A and B are shown apart, each in its own frame.
Chain A
């Protein structure tokens, strides 16, 4: 069967998105996607350090897009909140799809977008941190 319907989990995240909103003075930010294509995702990160290891202390998202785009944004923030950066970076689009109980075939690109947004936000944090250390 062609999978064209949303799973219960996708709809639940779409209707009640987790970690939706902005963070003040984030340590890392990324915006991916393009309004021309219909999807734009922005991820804000706060990074903490525990036992000398960096972890995602807080994460928020804002998304313009369809149910799949909003649901993937929501679930990825839930998946990585509290996780070490190194572990967060291991999350691939297939993990996002799996966590949502599947996505319609035409919507698979939304999961890619979420993984991309997360990786890019972490990269932004690292670049900013590098600059700060240089300045010090």
Chain B
């Protein structure tokens, strides 16, 4: 049988058996509606609140500051649209201004685009340096009297670069203290922490954020469950009207088994974070060192300020999807930001924003590691990958 090596954990991860065990009874036995006062409902409600505490604990937040959503995309939409709408409802007169970056996930970019289209907000998209890092000075410069939100991802999903959130948070504290005296609107701070939860410290006080979005399926909970941290006294307008669940911010009958799963997955992250992060970082470094031995291959993202599980490259003179499919043919799953894999005609907006030329960005490849990745897996990849690059380069015309 062919060896199978999954190196696309940043896309999604398998459900952890312990997580699966924890959620199972809530399909069959404890199936009650958490809004009902009978014992079935109470069992469900208890489970939901336990999970809420588990998520809160991982973020060093209060349980009541967590609401469950279907995914990070939903959490992000609620954070951005909900904040702008709430400000409007509270009588904020000017057109609110949002500062974000060019390298955010589409969920942030499209939510901002939506607000801009409807003339509900003005948006500043900050550029980044060649490593994908946003500059604190640029953020400061972009702030206007009507700025209400800064939204910056904690970790970029394509290149793994860690943004200086703590520094931004500290800067914002000073700015907001001054704005209070000037009777200006407070600037809220949102982060998409989707790729950070597993390995980084996501203490919301340390980061200085008011809003944090996450999704479970990146860390061994099932797809279809996410959460939004909303700091106390942060006003949001719900985006889904109905029966008033989740503190009136996200109506709809609670998805109890999935919520239980997210709680359990957060608990496991808390227990394993340090040790597992170290192990994964070691494997990732091995992968990077070996892959960079192939001529005309460059690492994308920051060499040091990067998460343990993401190694991303551009391979010159080869198209990304072609490499991806040849790797798949030998049992290895990776992802690419080439135009051909995105279904668009342009390559990855992240790589372009980092100043990588389109003809080079087409040859991008991302390897992302996870709990089942072994040294054997990495060695297998290192063995099969160089001949694939060589073969595809031979196929290409000399330009």
B-contacting residues of A (Cβ < 8 Å)? Answer: 4, 11, 14-15, 17, 20, 31, 35-42, 62-70, 106-107
B322 touches A38 (CB 8 A): no
B329 touches A15 (CB 8 A): yes
A54 to B319, CA, bound (A): 35
A106 to B387, CA, bound (A): 29
A106 touches B397 (CB 8 A): no
Further 11 A-B residue pairs, CB within 8 A, beyond A15-B329, A35-B399: A35-B362, A37-B358, A40-B396, A40-B399, A42-B397, A64-B318, A64-B319, A65-B340, A67-B322, A67-B325, A106-B343
B329 touches A63 (CB 8 A): no
A-contacting residues of B (Cβ < 8 Å)? Answer: 317-322, 325-326, 329, 338-340, 343-345, 347, 357-359, 362, 395-397, 399
The interface residues of chain A lying within 8 Å CB-to-CB of B358 are 36-38
The interface residues of chain A lying within 8 Å CB-to-CB of B343 are 4, 106
Give the Cβ gap from A56 to chain B, nearest Cβ, in Å. 19
B340 touches A38 (CB 8 A): yes
Known: A64-B317, A66-B319, A66-B321. Contact between A20 and B395, CB under 8 A?
Answer: yes
A64 touches B396 (CB 8 A): yes
A70 to B394, CA, bound (A): 12
A38 touches B395 (CB 8 A): no
A62 touches B399 (CB 8 A): no
Residue of B nearest to A64 (CB): B396
Total A-B residue contacts, Cβ distance less than 8 Å:
66
Q: Which of A4, A14, A36, A38 has most B Cβ within 10 Å?
A: A38
The interface residues of chain B lying within 8 Å CB-to-CB of A67 are 321-322, 325, 340
Known: A66-B340, A70-B395. Contact between A37 and B345, CB under 8 A?
Answer: yes
Give the Cβ gap from A104 to chain B, nearest Cβ, in Å. 9
A37 to B347, CA, bound (A): 8
Known: A38-B347, A38-B362. Contact between A63 and B397, CB under 8 A?
Answer: yes
A39 to B338, CA, bound (A): 11
Q: 3 tightest CB-CB pairs across the interface, nearest first?
A: A66-B340, A64-B396, A35-B359
Chosen A-B contacts, 16 in total, with CB atoms closer than 8 Å, are A20-B395, A36-B358, A37-B339, A38-B319, A38-B358, A38-B362, A62-B397, A63-B396, A64-B319, A65-B340, A66-B319, A66-B338, A66-B340, A67-B340, A68-B340, A106-B343
Known: A64-B317, A64-B318, A67-B321. Contact between A38 and B338, CB under 8 A?
Answer: yes
Q: Which of B317, B329, B343 has most A Cβ within 10 Å?
A: B343
The interface residues of chain B lying within 8 Å CB-to-CB of A42 are 397
Q: Which of A4, A15, A41, A64 has most B Cβ within 10 Å?
A: A64
Give the Cβ gap from B296 to chain A, nearest Cβ, in Å. 13
B325 touches A31 (CB 8 A): no
Known: A15-B329, A38-B339. Contact between A62 and B319, CB under 8 A?
Answer: no
* Cβ-neighbour of B395 out of A39, A63, A68, A107 (below 8 A): A63
A36 to B338, CA, bound (A): 11
A15 to B322, CA, bound (A): 10
A15 to B358, CA, bound (A): 25
A17 to B325, CA, bound (A): 14
Give the Cβ gap from A124 to chain B, nearest Cβ, in Å. 15
A63 to B345, CA, bound (A): 18
A20 to B317, CA, bound (A): 17
Residue of B nearest to A42 (CB): B397
A31 to B398, CA, bound (A): 10
The interface residues of chain A lying within 8 Å CB-to-CB of B338 are 38, 66
The interface residues of chain B lying within 8 Å CB-to-CB of A106 are 340, 343-344
B325 touches A65 (CB 8 A): no
Known: A14-B325, A35-B359. Contact between A64 and B340, CB under 8 A?
Answer: no
Known: A63-B396, A63-B397, A64-B397. Contact between A36 and B322, CB under 8 A?
Answer: no
Residue of A nearest to B345 (CB): A37
The interface residues of chain A lying within 8 Å CB-to-CB of B318 are 64
Residue of B nearest to A38 (CB): B362
Give the Cβ gap from A73 to chain B, nearest Cβ, in Å. 9
Q: Which of A40, A66, A70 has most B Cβ within 10 Å?
A: A66
Give the Cβ gap from A50 to chain B, nearest Cβ, in Å. 29
A68 to B340, CA, bound (A): 9
A31 touches B340 (CB 8 A): no
A118 to B344, CA, bound (A): 25
A36 touches B359 (CB 8 A): yes
A107 touches B340 (CB 8 A): yes
Give the Cβ gap from A91 to chain B, nearest Cβ, in Å. 21
The interface residues of chain A lying within 8 Å CB-to-CB of B399 are 35, 40, 64
The interface residues of chain A lying within 8 Å CB-to-CB of B345 are 37
Q: Which of B344, B395, B399 has most A Cβ within 10 Å?
A: B395
